[in-house]
Structure 1
Amino acid sequence: MESISHVLGITPLSWDVQEQVEECVAKFISRWRRKKKEKALEAKYQLMERHLDMFPAYPSNLDEFCENHVFHKSIVYLSKLEKGRRWGRCMHCGGRFRLDRSVKPGSEGICPKCGVPVRFRGEWAEKPFVSKAKICIPYLVDGQVLLRYTNVQRAISPLQMRPEYDYTDFFLNITVEKNGRQKTYAYWWRQYPYYCSGWNRLRNGSECFSATYVYTENLPEIFGERYCHVDLRAGLQGLCRPIWFYDLLQNLRNIPQAEYLFKLGLPVLAANLSSQKPGIIGFSELTGVSKQYLPILRETQAMESEIKLLAASKKWVPFEAFRQLCVLNLDYYSLNTMQSIMEYNSLGRVLRYLQSQKKRKKTFANLLGIYRDYLDMAKRLGYNMKKKAILEPRDLKVQHDLMAAQLAEQKREKENSLLPLAIQDGLYWWAQEYANEKYQVVYPQTRDDFINEGISLNHCVGSVGYYDRHVLGRQMVFFIRQTPQPDKPLYTTEIDMDEGRIRQLYGFSDTSVPKDVRAFTEGFVRAAMRWRSAQRIAG
């Protein structure tokens, strides 16, 4: 306490007074820190409230924009058949028209009134048809750019004349000018346990990682007629796929190739660029594919991972096949699986074949995994990979399971041969009979002995790891049986033959063994070490 006495300018205090002073100082510092933290937290929430209040109401024409530019498929409700014909009502344009009996609920087609792709449903359907998407709505408020990321839900019911829309914000970005520099604030709507939720501020500069559609009606007012030499509204208005809008804005400012791709009509690819590629300016150099594919890339707004499939294809990929691929909207891992499958079969044939297998009630990603495993197994088994009957079996799942069983049988036969060969080569060169009136040691002779022991005693000695280590003679497995019943599984032990110790000793379901069983097993370990040493000396 000399320091406190020095600060206070008093003589050294007694120990009880010193403790009181220390306690008072500690409480003062604690209250000061707590008030400082509370003040900072209050300022943080006040700033967040001001930022949240900056966002205006949703655009008045947002429902119409989403109907025309976000949801690319609508619903036609069908009446019941009357004299072989029925009425249809389009929920996009509101038009009514007659249809013949060939149009059935669940099928898809085109509305004859407005030309929009539609799905046909019976007007007697009880539940509304719900579609979901994400959209980014930009604003310009007091010279500051605001990006509002919103979940959009569209519900179409036969009892209503128009679709119903519901909007829920999930991410907010605010870019402000501060001291001549841009600063981006980020807020994320977080759902907590027990139905609690609220806005959370993230690290400055954080961006939304969800790809979204973009509300384009006010882009010229916010970014001008030309943003980094491109017309944002014209380039994004007909976008058929979600895009990483924040990344697109950054890339257009920092990466010259992004401007080139955007002007080619490939904004999604421009947003996907991760860094500048010095010296690379041509289309083929940037994408890895011929410029002959440019029309289909514009139409589908393909992502970089999808374009890699074109580059990996040894043959020309028809536009229709690539269009079907983009409609599937596969994730990164599924696209990698597709690329490995294309080593055996062309993209178009793979898509047609897997669509025919879709009736098996599997997702497309799941079918891809099964098909790749099947092709890999067929190659390992030595089948002719050029025959159509091998490349495209009638029932993929059945053939996959048959080949898996065949490979498992081959593997089992190979494993079964290891132990007998090891025994012939002297695995048990040191072994002798070890038993007393109550127990005896049994030496396993085959792979099946391990499997049966594991099944009978409900433990893991049947796994391949124990078998492989036993064959090497380092960590060996032995069966402890009752002398009158040597064929009935009772206890199992694993012994480290280098260190001469018991690694494991268990009964049914890994239960502990009686003391006399442990004593018997320890005696066997000591005897085994003596036998090995004696035979080495004799040798």
Structure 2
Amino acid sequence: MRKKEIERIPYLGLKKISRKKDVKYIGVTAVKIVGNKKHLFLEVYKNKKESKMVPVVRIILTEKEFWNYFPKTEQWTRQKVEKDGGYGNYIWGEKAVTWEQIEKENVLQSTEDLERIKKFCKIKIPVYYEARWWQYIYKHEDDLATAARIDREHRKFVRRQEALKDRMSHTAKLPEKRILEYADRIYFHNKHHLYYKKCGSWAKIACSKCGGVTDARWRDGISYESQFQKHTEEPREGKSGKCPMCGAVGTYKCQGKIKGEYSKKIHLFLGQRYKEDGAVLRYVEIEKAWTLGFIEGNDGPEMYNAAEELSGVEVARAYFEPGKKVQIDYHKHDLYRNEDFWDDCNLYGLANIDIKAATIMPETYEELKNTIFRYSGLKEYDEQAQEVNPIRYLQNYQKTPQIEILAKLGLSEIVKGINEGRTGIIVDASAKRLDALLGIRRERTKKLIEEKGDARLLRVLQIEKSLDQHWTEEQVNHLRETGLDIAHIAFVLNYMTIQKLLNRIEKYAGCAYETNCGRAVANIRNTAIIYIDYLMMRERRGYDLHNTVYQQPRDLSAAHRQMVTETNREEVKKRLEETEERYENIKKRYRSLRKEYCYEDATYLIRPARSAEEIVMEGRLLHHCVGGNGYLSRHNEGKSYILMMRFRKEPETPYITVEINPEQKKIVQWYGERDTKPDEENIQSWLDNYLEKLKSGTLQEETSEMMTMTA
């Protein structure tokens, strides 16, 4: 659209304003030729004398494009007439409330303007109310925006498909035979099954290797003919044996324990060179299935064959190229066309294809020597870890090339943490030295390497450097067992040395450090957390922690419980003060509500809550949620009321809490302790009777009679 040329076109101007008081905006239209194309000009003016010459907005429409020009700010926008598709929210004015108001406030200068808009905006969906003339514009704009979006998405899809075809054309052929042989040898150990069924001295045996079924004697006979019969060892479940037909070694499986097919799956990674110096990592699923076939015989199901099949399918491919993000393609199946295909995006939800750690085939490293990952350290890390996800490793290597050094130094735990996405491991990503990279003291690197980058040790060493401390090796080892973080240690160092802290934790735990006992380590960590929590609560309550009496309680558990009680008491007091101030209407309305809702009989009494404080305590004592802000707010505003139901002989002991709707005179809910309903049938009947009296207006009369009889 030729914006500069359009800006030079004079405004259409408003011929006259409307005398109707409700009219706020008037639209004027014209069709003009700009650059050999028809343009619909819609100018919206304020219904004021001083606004007749300059519009609020000039809307320009063509067959395939639309723009808005605001003279006041001299800005062009691509907003639709209705902002965000909002009801009554237009780009030239304020948001209206009703359709009637909208139609009165926004009008066209003449009927010719409406006909011009209708003729130019050839919309597919009709507009049923011509007074809403702006909907022609909006639907025309919406059609253009939809068409443009579809066109963009189509072009994007075409580019993606072309890129996918290019990747597939440059991907080497998968060596299926070599992969299957490797998997069968390494993972399935050329495993075969010998299915058997005993019958006296004989056994029927089916071999999954050769597929044959034969009868063989497993116990020696006494007859002359038995020495010429086929013999085998006694078949036993789970034991190894030889097939009497082909001699293959297999594992015996009892026929009665086999139900159809049994299979086992494993995954492998194969890395290959891609294009010049890129790499593709291929994730392959291998499955070995053993099947036993049955046929109906005279004495029930009989084995008639056995088979085994080794198969594989490529699940995903990860492409790495210099200067580009990793692209992962996924192998999918189309149920409608019943065919497999490759796609450049994953599935969704529970069907999401997950690439997990698996074994890397040895030839991968030879292939990677001529790629950007020739110095990645993947081979060294693979030798240290049990299973690796090389895709994730190489992604992290591209972000943090220093993990090559970490892998080659044997710091497998640190590399594992980086691959799992743990934060705080890398302190300075631009550092070239190991100590600066990990944020530890230089002299500590040897110990870290000796312990293969133990994660807890690394955290202690990082805390030591961060707090500018110099700890002994023994202190480092003991701190590692406590599991304390930097905030805890920094807090404690304000009042004691690190050695005093370690000594007290050991004393309170009753366990020595470095025992390699799981229970002892767990006890030390638990004690450390309790001790630090105790000290922090002491400090928050204003105690002087330089006093050794507070630092070293005789019984840590008892002292901790005491501080928890004090802290909770303070929190409750603060909560009560806040609610009493915030929901003051509850207290003010009590007397008037009491006259309406208070009732008692020989067994129970019910009354409204006296204050916000009482509602909060009701919730705490009965352990339910009535003390929450939602209930307090509704009672305070009169939307619903909280009633206390108690035994008449114990009027101050909480029993049942009731929420009632004052308009409908209906009980919303009622609960006792811990959201239970004690004596539910009896209580529900009593409350139903109470509601009947409340609705009939006889509640106060019966209450007065009851009080008189009692007196």
Scaled by the length of structure 2, the TM-score of the pair is 0.37
Larger relative contact order (C-alpha < 8 A, sep ≥ 6)? 1
State TM-score, norm by structure 1: 0.47
